[in-house]
Amino acid sequence: MNRLIVNIMSLLSFLWILGACDQTGNFPGAEVNPHIAIYDLRSFYKGSDYPLTVESMMGARGITGIVVSDHSGKNLPPGLLMVQDKMRLNELRGIAITIGADAAQYVPGDSVTVDLVGGVMKRVDGILQVTGLDGSIVTKIASGRPIAVNRIPSSYILADPDKYESTELVIVKGGFDPIPEPTDTYSGDRLVNDGFDNFVLHTEPEATFANDPLPGMANFFGVVAYGKDDNGNLKPHLRIRRPEDITVLSSTVIRSPIVISGYIGDVQGTDLDGEYMQFLATQDIDFSETPFSVVTHNTSSGYQPTGVPLQGWATGGTTGKRAYKFDLTSGTVNKGEYFYIGNSAKLINGVGSTSMADGKWMVSRKTGSVPGDGIGAVSTDLFLNGTSAFTDAIGVFEGTTVDEYSVPIDVIVTGYNGAILNVAQQAGLRITNTDWYDMINPVTLEEQPFYKQGSNTIYLSRKGAGYFYKLGGEYNIRLGRWVKARMDRALLLTLESTLDELEKEFPLANGTSEGWLPTKVVE
């Protein structure tokens, strides 16, 4: 009985506390944060004008954040103050506020509070903004606050521009299409590709940098705005704000005659004489006149020499098993044609599987009984099996001489761990500029010539037996660069799989989605 009385009294006390709360759900003495997260503010807009009051902002009066707009370059929509924050869920969001000429007083890095009461949130020319206010609503708290670099692939912006509106972002390794002539300038709409998709860079004719010449490749900082296409539909574009938003990376184009388009490193059953690699020619090649070589690298702890690769791709020489080289010194291949290097049996997925002898084979040998061409002892396993605990790699080289200083023309890595890099010893696998890797960090501009150094951390996730890595990128031979980066896709083969599964769209599109496409050249 005593316990029942105690429980009843506790329940009555709880109900009394609830009754003491006001109708907004706040407990007595609690104060609502006067600043609402921009993430939450933007969520109120449902397609029609949204008046901003203390009640409509859930007790808040406005926002606080970092300014990202800069009108000194005369390339932003006039009168807009753009502010960003990460107050909600660590999600970066921005909002534009119309305050007229006073917007020009503020520059990126200014910390401000903005009283939004009395404003109306609406879309104007595509941009979600707060209207009906003036410069008196802004209070500057500090200057020079750091803005973290926000690298966003163009495909992400195109898929969800609302997420990136009025925030500072950077499109990295942007190259123009077509390749700029010496007389081409920024003025107008210029098509830029960053390896993920095509994106418009818009520059007003009055911008201070409108008549500057276009670089071959650059990083472009800026903010997202909107323009109209030929059908009158709003389309997002990037507006750089000032000349300092442009970081020139290159003024030249380096083309790769051969790119890696796929491989299988663990076939069903035994790997002996089963592994092979697929390549794509981006130009016509006669290997007897222009030789190339392909080197595989394996960090298996059972392969000698162990430790970091002191001789780079040539580690192990003729007696070790860490590397294995195939020389391409005969035969021809046409632009856009796939060719293969690897097992002499020419089977698609190990013993008992479909023959792929009708594919274009440039080198086919039993690696378990024939050593590599100047690098690599006989080896039944060029690639590792199982998890990504260690690292495999494929490098393509111009010529047949490969040493510790050789830089490939293309490279793909599977797995992340293992003894692969020692910067102090300058020991590691050298990379080149590709869709995945950069010899100079495109954001910090620091040198990073090795895999796993700096931003060079992309790798394929190892899947297991029977998986063919079908990379599915697009290499533009006119621009000499990747316009759609290769993907981490692994196609599970069967014993009945055919060559078409590797070289054509597969699985076939089902009407609602596109099938897996192979790597291809485009113009």
Q: Which of 463, 462, 465, 499 is nearest to 348 (CA)?
A: 499
Across the beta sheet with 50-51, what order do the strands follow?
50-51, 120-124, 127-131, 93-98, 80-85, 62-67, 111-115, 138-142
pLDDT interval class at 6 (50, 70, 90): very low
Question: Which string of b and e fits 363-383 if b means at least 16 CB within 10 Å?
Answer: bbbebbeebbbebbbebebbb
| Dist. CA 399–CA 394, nearest whole Å | 16
pLDDT at 228 over 90: no
In the prediction, which pLDDT does 507 show?
Answer: 79
In the prediction, which pLDDT does 27 show?
Answer: 46
In the prediction, which pLDDT does 21 show?
Answer: 45
Q: Between 254 and 354, where is the model more confident? A: 354
In the prediction, which pLDDT does 390 show?
Answer: 78
Q: Which of 153, 221, 149 is nearest to 482 (CA)?
A: 153
Backbone angles phi, psi at 497, to 5 degrees: -60, 155
pLDDT > 70: percent of the chain: 91
In the prediction, which pLDDT does 155 show?
Answer: 92
- Mean pLDDT score, 454-469: 90
- Mean pLDDT score, 462-484: 91
Q: Tokens standing for 56? A: 């409509």
Q: Share the mean pLDDT of the chain.
A: 90
Contact present, 66 and 141 (Cβ < 8 Å)? no
Q: Which of 162, 226, 155 is nearest to 195 (CA)?
A: 155
Among 27-36, 118-127, 344-353, 384-393, name the one with the lowest average pLDDT: 27-36
Among 20-29, 107-116, 171-180, 277-286, name the one with the lowest average pLDDT: 20-29
- Mean pLDDT score, 195-212: 95
pLDDT interval class at 16 (50, 70, 90): very low
* Domain residue ranges of the chain, discontinuous segments joined by +: 38-142, 154-250
Q: At 485, which amino acid appears?
A: A
Contact present, 309 and 297 (Cβ < 8 Å)? yes
Q: State CA 157 to chain mean position distance.
A: 12
- Tell me the pLDDT tens digit for each residue of 496-512: 999 999 999 987 766 55
Written as one string, the DSSP assignment of 412-462 is: EEE---SS-EEGGGTEE-B--SSSS--SB-TTT--B--BTTSTT----BPP
pLDDT at 13 over 80: no
Q: Which of 436, 397, 484 is nearest to 196 (CA)?
A: 484
What is the number of other CB atoms lying within 10 angstroms of the CB of residue 47? Answer: 7
Q: Which pairs count as long-range contacts for 454-458, CB under 8 Å and 24+ apart, including other chains?
A: 456/431, 457/416, 458/413
In the prediction, which pLDDT does 461 show?
Answer: 86
pLDDT interval class at 492 (50, 70, 90): very high
Q: With 0-12 CB in 10 A as exposed, 13-18 as middle and 19+ as buried, what is 424?
A: exposed
Q: Tokens standing for 357? A: 């002898």
Q: Which of 265, 335, 332 is nearest to 520 (CA)?
A: 335
- Tell me the pLDDT tens digit for each residue of 348-395: 999 999 999 999 999 999 999 999 999 999 988 888 876 656 789 999
- Mean pLDDT score, 329-341: 97
What DSSP state is assigned to residue 503?
H
Among 208-217, 264-273, 465-474, name the one with the lowest average pLDDT: 264-273
What DSSP state is assigned to residue 23?
T
* Residue labelled with tokens 């499109």: 171
Q: Tokens standing for 58? A: 């859930």
CA angle 417–418–424, rounded 5-degree value: 100
- Tell me the pLDDT tens digit for each residue of 408-445: 999 999 988 788 899 999 999 999 999 999 998 988 88
- Mean pLDDT score, 339-355: 94
| Dist. CA 277–CA 472, nearest whole Å | 14
**Domain range 154-250, CATH class:** mainly beta
Q: Tokens standing for 238? A: 């990037």
In the prediction, which pLDDT does 509 show?
Answer: 62
Q: Tokens standing for 290? A: 């222009």
Contact present, 375 and 318 (Cβ < 8 Å)? yes
Question: CA 230 → CA 161, 233, 235, 308, distances in Å?
Answer: 19, 7, 10, 56
pLDDT at 55 over 80: yes
- Tell me the pLDDT tens digit for each residue of 304-321: 898 899 999 999 999 999
pLDDT interval class at 253 (50, 70, 90): low
| Dist. CA 483–CA 523, nearest whole Å | 10
CATH number at 38-142: 2.40.50
- Mean pLDDT score, 143-147: 96
- Tell me the pLDDT tens digit for each residue of 158-198: 999 999 999 999 999 999 999 899 999 999 999 999 999 99
**Three-class secondary structure assignment of 100-142:** HHHHHHCCCCCEEEEECCCCEEEEECCEEEEECCCHHHEEEEE
How many CA atoms does the CB half-sphere of 138 hold within 13 Å? 27
Same fold, 38-142 and 154-250: yes
In the prediction, which pLDDT does 216 show?
Answer: 86
Written as one string, the DSSP assignment of 366-399 is: -TTTS--SSS----S-SS--SSTTS-EEEEEEES
